[in-house]
Amino acid sequence: EAGLGALGRVRGISFGAAVQLSLLEQDARYRQAFADEAALLVPEWEAKWEALQPEEGRFDTAPLDGILNWARAARMPVRGHALVWHNAMPDWLVAALGEGRNRALGLLKAHFDFVLNHARSQIRDWDVVNEPIANPPGSDLPERGPGPLRDTPWLRALGPSYIETAFRMARERDPTLRLTLNEYGVEEDTPDAAEKRRRLLALLRNLVNRGVPIDAVGIQAHLQLVRPFRPEPFAAFLAEIRGLGLAVLITELDIRETAAAPPDLARRDALVAERAEAFLSCAVQAGVRTVLSWGLTDRYSWLASDPGVALPGGRTHRGLPLDGDYRRKPMWHAVARSF
């Protein structure tokens, strides 16, 4: 049976997933899964700052190039992730950003100059700023703040205009790129997600009103079963974004179970699939045409490595379309049905 990439394509939907070069190289089944299921790739690590510029002025493109080469052979487009983010920053960068505004602007320019030029022929869509919004006080998500903007080394060095500066720099360097702002924690039906939606919309309105070159919003969609989901508020939120003239992408879909995950595998898989279908069919009806999951197989999901979301009894997460042995799970069918 056709993979998710092919099934999406006939419905006008581009489906892809986050990929890691080391796994493409080591695991033939992983390679085959991407060849079979994906029509689009995003490097899970290889285009982050610490990967691309581990030391000031020394760019290491080997990991990203490995993914770009594989993608070229497989004829898959690649999204860029992420130019400005408060994580995956090398220590030297954090220290240098403390040295003042001009130093910070110089580093931003040098990084954008090199990276956007290097990847120009293959990456046409970049997450320019990732996760700029603070989680509201009282949220069960970490990194809370009185808001709206998250307190990061970039904010401290450049003030709130760091976002605008990054988008303008990207547009200047390549006017044909699709420039995306990527965010999480805005999908579900909880008071903190509602507040985070308001914060994000206020930022987007401000950027658009002032003519800042932004084209799209990426919604990460690291969903949690412990947080309820209702289509109405999420669809209204997407309609507001699209009303600003911005596209919406789902960029990092996966589904976390709760500590109360029932031991029964079939029951767990059914709950995950149900959530995936409710969420994605809502997104697609609201006009989303690009969907990426954060990995394809439970075998290598980042959820496994995040101690904050460990499941009892050492149970592994089952939040991706394929299980640890690359078998299609109910979530796979749920994603297919939502296209």
Which positions are annotated as active-site residues?
252
Distances (CA, A) of 291 to 32, 41, 334: 20, 11, 13
- Tokens, residue 51: 């990967």
Find the shortest distance in angstroms from Cβ 184 to ligand XIL: 6
CA distance 163 to 94: 17
55: DSSP letter: B
Q: Which CB atom, from 44 or from 195, has the smaller least distance to ligand XIL? A: 44
Q: Which CB atom, from 49 or from 339, has the smaller least distance to ligand XIL? A: 49
Q: Dihedral angle at the C-alpha atoms of 292, 71, 87, 291, nearest 10 degrees?
A: -10
Q: Which CB atom, from 7 or from 150, has the smaller least distance to ligand XIL? A: 150
Residue closest to ligand XIL when measured from CB atoms = 302
Contact 273, 333 (CB under 8 A): yes
Find the shortest distance in angstroms from Cβ 185 to ligand XIL: 10
Contact 234, 219 (CB under 8 A): no
Positions in the binding site for ligand XIL (CB under 6 A): 44, 130, 220, 252, 302
The CB-based long-range contact list for 5-13 (8 Å cut-off, 24+ gap) reads 5/36, 5/37, 5/38, 5/39, 5/40, 6/39, 7/336, 7/339, 8/39, 8/291, 8/339, 9/39, 11/339, 12/289, 13/284, 13/288, 13/289, 13/290, 13/291, 13/339
Find the shortest distance in angstroms from Cβ 251 to ligand XIL: 8
Q: Which CB atom, from 30 or from 339, has the smaller least distance to ligand XIL? A: 30
Find the shortest distance in angstroms from Cβ 134 to ligand XIL: 15
CA distance 176 to 303: 34
Q: Which CB atom, from 290 or from 330, has the smaller least distance to ligand XIL? A: 290
Find the shortest distance in angstroms from Cβ 261 to ligand XIL: 20
